[in-house]
């Protein structure tokens, strides 16, 4: 009798939500996880996937991306990078604001092959003209708190937070005004605020003072002077205090925001990011970011245990998104999962400053399932 649509046999399940790691078969029916058990007979499923020697993990969540958004007419699409990297949920981190969001929803979000959500930029123009003097000077003039709240209320199924730039390099003197407006929207809507940090002013302490539990710092391992380490490389006391009061720290690799040196020093002082994310877009997709599994592999080679690294791309970002049903691989939950291969060999990785790290481990994706449907399968012979 076939009661399942899809059955994964003989894989090693890693489920960061409850710390489980061990061999289990996983069955899917009607887009949900139907059963996990040591032995589920093949006859009970329409399609069987041999997962022996592979890891079966919840679908990965990339908390910081810019997908399907055109900058200088170059664009990286979700379908080109997410399925092949085990990602079933990605979050666009502020590419659009209240004025540009409706276009982005129609153009990208509504026909993404997997879940693609938005943190709406507090500036209504999003990132149009970003990295120009015009943007730096005028970012804050396009803040409209009421219109941003209205756009969120009309698009709750897509918009999961508010994004704000709080760095002089990005928005000149607008940082604190923008941050305060973002907080106002966050309080009115119950959504988290995610803050880009890179270059002072304001100081990181001034930023953290304006955040509450559940708010997010992204670019946690930036080598710039607004980062979590002081000039001597010591973790700023305000960072530890912020974590204790519930501020969430996201990686946001990006083109310029992840240095192995910062990572080593922070990890040595016991400060890992809560989530590992790519900040992927056209200028970093070739190098240094490539995709989420490459970013996770960098952490494995910096000494982070596999289970811990996987928690930072599943259950932890799910918590930041107030989406506890994601990233769990529990019966009854959505059938989002990835089949991965952990290979041992000699692999080279590059950070945002072109430093190379040679390591022994790399994760590869064999297959990705979104809501019970296979959206990627490695077709190697």
Residue 261-300 contact track with Zn ion, rule CB under 5 A, x = bound: ------------------x---------------------
Indicate the residue among 67 and 367 with the shorter CB distance to Zn ion. Answer: 67
Indicate the residue among 216 and 369 with the shorter CB distance to Zn ion. Answer: 216
Length of the chain: 381
On the question of a cis peptide bond just before residue 160, with omega within 30 degrees of 0, the verdict is no
Cα–Cα distance for residue pair 197/167, rounded to 1 Å: 6
Total residues at the site for Zn ion (CB under 5 A)? Answer: 2
Instruction: Decide if 336 contacts 62 (C-beta within 8 A).
Output: no
First to last CA, the chain: 32
Taking contact as CB under 5 A, which single stretch among the options 72-80, 91-99, 229-237, 282-290 is the one that binds Zn ion? 91-99
Instruction: Decide if 248 contacts 275 (C-beta within 8 A).
Output: yes
Indicate the residue among 148 and 218 with the shorter CB distance to Zn ion. Answer: 218
Indicate the residue among 33 and 93 with the shorter CB distance to Zn ion. Answer: 93
Task: Work out how close the CB of 217 gets to Zn ion at its nearest, in angstroms, rounded to a whole number.
Answer: 13
Indicate the residue among 215 and 366 with the shorter CB distance to Zn ion. Answer: 215
Taking contact as CB under 5 A, which single stretch among the options 7-15, 85-93, 286-294, 332-340 is the one that binds Zn ion? 85-93
- Under the binding rule (CB under 5 A), the answer on residue 92 touching Zn ion is no
14, 36, 60, 93: which one contacts Zn ion (CB under 5 A)? 93
Edge-to-edge strand order for the sheet containing 159-165? Answer: 60-65, 87-93, 115-121, 159-165, 193-196, 216-218, 248-249
- Cα dihedral sign, 81-52-315-294: negative
| CA proximity to 11, closest of 38, 51, 69 | 51
- DSSP structure class, residue 46: E
Cα–Cα distance for residue pair 5/339, rounded to 1 Å: 17
With CB atoms as reference, the residue minimizing the distance to Zn ion is 279
Task: Work out how close the CB of 356 gets to Zn ion at its nearest, in angstroms, rounded to a whole number.
Answer: 24
Task: Work out how close the CB of 29 gets to Zn ion at its nearest, in angstroms, rounded to a whole number.
Answer: 37
Task: Work out how close the CB of 162 gets to Zn ion at its nearest, in angstroms, rounded to a whole number.
Answer: 14
- Beta partners for 357? 349
Cα–Cα distance for residue pair 286/159, rounded to 1 Å: 28
Indicate the residue among 93 and 367 with the shorter CB distance to Zn ion. Answer: 93
Task: Work out how close the CB of 163 gets to Zn ion at its nearest, in angstroms, rounded to a whole number.
Answer: 8
Task: Work out how close the CB of 99 gets to Zn ion at its nearest, in angstroms, rounded to a whole number.
Answer: 19
Task: Work out how close the CB of 302 gets to Zn ion at its nearest, in angstroms, rounded to a whole number.
Answer: 22
Give me the numbers of helices (H) and strands (E) for the chain, helices first please.
Answer: 12, 17
Indicate the residue among 93 and 182 with the shorter CB distance to Zn ion. Answer: 93
Indicate the residue among 112 and 222 with the shorter CB distance to Zn ion. Answer: 222
Cα–Cα distance for residue pair 108/106, rounded to 1 Å: 6
Q: Which two tokens stand for residue 268?
A: 């040595």
Taking contact as CB under 5 A, which single stretch among the options 93-101, 144-152, 155-163, 306-314 is the one that binds Zn ion? 93-101
- Contacts with Zn ion by CB under 5 A lie at 93, 279
């Amino acid at each position: 009798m076939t009661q399942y649509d899809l059955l994964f046999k003989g894989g090693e399940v890693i489920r960061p939500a409850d710390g489980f790691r061990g061999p289990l078969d996983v069955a899917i029916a009607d887009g949900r996880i139907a059963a996990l058990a040591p032995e589920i007979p093949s006859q009970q499923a329409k399609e069987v996937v041999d997962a022996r020697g592979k890891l079966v993990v919840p679908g990965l969540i990339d908390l910081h991306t810019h997908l399907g958004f055109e900058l200088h007419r170059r664009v990286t699409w979700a379908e080109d990078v997410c399925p092949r990297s085990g990602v079933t949920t990605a979050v666009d981190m502020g590419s659009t604001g209240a004025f540009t969001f409706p276009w982005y929803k129609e153009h990208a979000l509504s026909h993404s092959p997997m879940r693609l959500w938005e943190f709406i930029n507090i500036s209504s123009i999003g990132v149009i003209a970003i990295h120009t003097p015009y943007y730096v000077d005028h970012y804050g003039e396009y803040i409209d708190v009421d219109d941003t709240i209205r756009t969120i209320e009309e698009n709750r199924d897509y918009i999961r937070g508010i994004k704000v730039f709080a760095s002089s390099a990005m928005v000149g003197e607008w940082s604190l005004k923008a941050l305060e407006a973002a907080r106002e929207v966050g309080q009115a809507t119950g959504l988290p605020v995610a803050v880009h940090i890179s270059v002072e002013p304001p100081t990181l302490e001034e930023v953290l003072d304006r955040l509450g539990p559940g708010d997010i710092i992204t670019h946690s391992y930036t080598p710039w002077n607004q980062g979590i380490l002081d000039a001597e490389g010591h973790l700023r006391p305000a960072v530890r205090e912020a974590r204790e009061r519930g501020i969430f720290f996201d990686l946001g690799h990006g083109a310029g925001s992840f240095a192995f040196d910062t990572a080593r020093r922070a990890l040595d002082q016991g400060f890992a990011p809560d989530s590992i994310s790519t900040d992927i877009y056209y200028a970093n997709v070739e190098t240094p970011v490539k995709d989420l599994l490459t970013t996770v592999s960098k952490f494995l080679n910096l000494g982070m245990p596999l289970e811990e690294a996987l928690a930072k791309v599943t259950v932890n970002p799910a918590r930041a998104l107030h989406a506890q049903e994601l990233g769990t691989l529990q019966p009854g939950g959505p059938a989002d999962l990835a089949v991965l291969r952990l290979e041992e060999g000699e692999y080279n990785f590059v950070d945002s400053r072109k430093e190379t790290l040679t390591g022994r481990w790399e994760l590869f994706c064999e297959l990705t399932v979104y809501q019970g449907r296979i959206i990627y399968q490695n077709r190697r012979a």
